[in-house]
Chain A
Amino acid sequence: MINGKQNRENDQFKELVKKSGMEQAPGSFTENVMKAVQQHSVPEELSTSRSWYSSGYFLTGVIASSILVALVAFFYFYGNILLVKEFDPVFSPVLKDLYQSLAVILHSIKLSSTTLVIIGGFVLLLILDLILRRSTFSGKTYLTF
C-alpha cells in the first residue's frame, strides 16, 4: 500500500519534472567543443615536446655523459702522457698522482662482457622508457623496478 502510494507519487513527480523538459544544445555546440578540443590539445603537445627537446636537461645529460666517457677513454688509453716529467715541472707530480689514482680506480673495476651487456641493456631500456614516455605524453613509466 505504502509502496503503491510512493510509486504513484514518483510517477507524478516524473510527469512534473518532464514538464520542465530536455534542453537542446545550441546549434554550433559540437563545432565549438571540437575547436576548443583542438586548441587545448595542441599547446599541451607542444609544451611537452618543448620540454623534451629544449628544456636543456636532455642536452646537458648528453654533453656530460660524452665528456665523462671521453675522459675515461682518454685516461684508459693515453694516461701515460701524464707521466712525462718535462710536461710541466710544477704540475707533473699532481698529474702523476691523478693518473695513479684514476689507474687504481679503473683497474679495480673488473667488468666481464656479461656485466657490460647487462649495463648496456639497462641504459638502453632507460632511454627507451624515456622516449616512450615523452612520445605518449602520459608521464607514466613503462618500466617498473
Chain B
Amino acid sequence: MKFEDDSFYIDQVKSGDVNAYTFLVEKHKDMVFTVAMKIAGNKEDAEEIAQDAFVKAYQSLDNFLHKAKFTTWIYRIVYNTAISKLRKKKLDKVTLQPEITETYTLDEIVENLDYYNVDEQKQMVDFAMGLLEPQEKLIISFYYLNDMPVDEIAEITGLSNSNVKVKLFRIRNKMQSALKNQLQESLKKMQP
C-alpha cells in the first residue's frame, strides 16, 4: 500500500475527515507497536499502549503544528504512555547494572550467536533487551531498528544529544554483558 505524506492525512483529519486517520494508523502501526512491545515486553500491554498512543495523538491532533515530524510526535506519545503504564503496573522491576565483559568480546559474542538458530538468537537478544530500562529500550529500538538520528531520539526522550550518546554507550555495555551471561549459561547447559 502506497501512502501519502503524513501532513496530507493530518490536514484531512483536521478538516473533519476522521477516516483519514486510518491511513496514519496503518502507516505507522508496526513501528509504534514494535516500540511499545520493546518497552512493555508483552503483546497485551504493547497493544494497549500503542492503541492509547494513537487515540491520544488523534485527540491532540489540533495541537500538532507540523513543526516536528508526525513520527517524532507519535513516538513521544508512545514513550510517555508506556512509561506511565509501566509506572502503574511496575513492570520494570528487573534492571541490570552495566559491567565490562571480559570473557567475550563483542566479536566473540556475535560469532558465538551464529551457532544458534534464528529463533534462539532472537530469544537471546529479546532477553538482553528486556533487561534494559524502558527509556533504554526505546533508545536502542529507535537507533538500531529504525535508524533514527541521535537528535530525533533526543527530541522524543527530552534528553540532550550527548546524553543519548552516553546512554547508547551504556546500553551497548549492558547488552554485551547480558548476552555474554546468556551464552555462558547456554554453554553450561550443553556440558555433560
Contact = CB atoms under 8 A, between A and B. Distances in A.
Nearest to A17: B144
Interface stretch (B24-32, B79-87, B152-160, B180-188): B24-32
Interface string A29-56: 1101110111011001000000000000
B29 A30 contact: yes
B58 A17 contact: no
A22 B126 CA distance: 11
B69 interface: no
Contacts of B167: none
Interface in B48-101: 50-51, 54-55, 58-59, 62
Contacts of B46: 23
Contacts, number: 97
Contacts of A17: 125, 129, 140-141, 144-145
B125 to A, nearest CB: 4
B107 A12 contact: yes
Q: Give the interface size bracket for B toward A.
A: 35 or more
Interface residues of A, number: 28
Contact of A16 (B19, B21, B110): B110
Given A9-B106, A34-B21, A19 B122 contact: yes
Interface of B: 18-19, 21-22, 25-26, 29-34, 37-38, 43, 46-47, 50-51, 54-55, 58-59, 62, 106-107, 109-110, 113, 118, 121-122, 125-126, 129, 140-141, 144-145, 172, 175, 179
Given A9-B106, A26-B47, A29-B25, 15 more contacts: A13-B172, A14-B144, A16-B113, A17-B125, A20-B125, A23-B30, A25-B32, A29-B33, A29-B47, A30-B22, A30-B26, A30-B29, A37-B58, A41-B58, A138-B62
Interface of A: 9, 12-26, 29-30, 32-34, 36-38, 40-41, 44, 138
